Amino acid sequence: MSAVVQDRTEVMLRYPVRTHPYAGVSHDSEGRYYDFKTRPDLITKVLEDFKPHAGRCSVQHFYRLLQYINRPDGSFETTDCGLTKRLYQLPSSPFPEKSGCLGGRLMLIFRDLDQNCSKKHVIKLVRKMQRQLLNFGRDASYVGFVVGPFPTLFLETQKRGFQTDIEFAMWGDSFEDAMARFDEVVGLMERTIVECDKRGL
């Protein structure tokens, strides 16, 4: 078995434009943008979807990944992340033998904002991440990814461009069964991001 990596680039290019930074989310008063480059200490304190699971080793692994991405000499920075609260069913699941899946996302951008405004540059990153997830995920079980460009207006420069959106899913017969795969998901994202960060595009 291997990780499922889907390409929805053309669909995502038609998504409504979101702003960076974003002001907040309507469904959760705690949800807002934090600059973890300047406040890495907030990573373990403010991520509302992950705080209920902070005792899990996999969530601590995820926090370390965010710390790595947002370190002072990094190529990228994170802009958003999330995790669903319950299992849900996909209309066309690649693993119909499982009851459902948990989903989540990790969004990032280049530190150099102008690079995010080059569609060619962002698509090149998306393609490399897709290839690396397929390569590193050859022995993964019941996990999947969608990596694509999310249309974005960068408020600092008033230019339109894209964030890189990494969506992930973990299948299982219960919340616990699916959540048990989160460490594997984090590990695959970590290896992929490190490869892109260290070796470039």
Q: What is the mean pLDDT of residues 145-153?
A: 98
* 27, pLDDT greater than 60: no
Q: Can you read off the two tokens belonging to residue 201?
A: 């595009």
Bridge-based pairing of strands 4-6 and 143-154 is: parallel
Reply yes or no on whether the pLDDT at 29 is more than 60: no
Return the structure tokens found at 115: 């690079």
CA distance 185 to 68: 16
Amino acid at 5: V
Give residue 30's pLDDT band: very low, low, confident or very high (50, 70, 90).
low
Residue 117 is part of which domain span? 4-199
Q: How does pLDDT run across 79-135, given as a tens digit for each residue? A: 999 999 999 998 889 999 999 999 999 999 999 999 999 999 999 999 999 999 999
Instruction: Locate 59 and state its tokens.
Output: 């969530």
Per DSSP, the three-state class of 98 is: coil
**Is the per-residue pLDDT at 152 higher than 50?**
yes
Q: Beta strand 100-110 with 159-172: parallel, antiparallel or unpaired?
A: antiparallel
> Residue 99 carries which side chain, given as an amino acid letter?
S
81/5 Cα distance (integer angstroms): 19
Helix axis angle, 119-136 to 182-199, nearest 10°: 130
How many domains, the chain? Answer: 1
Please, where are the H alpha helices in the chain? 9-12, 43-46, 57-69, 113-116, 119-136, 175-179, 182-199
Nearest CA among 143, 137, 49 for reference residue 93: 143
- One-letter amino acid identity for 44? T
Percentage above 70 pLDDT, the chain: 96
Residue at token pair 């190529």: 75
Q: Are 86 and 99 in contact (CB under 8 A)?
A: no
C-alpha 18/C-alpha 6 separation (Å) is 22
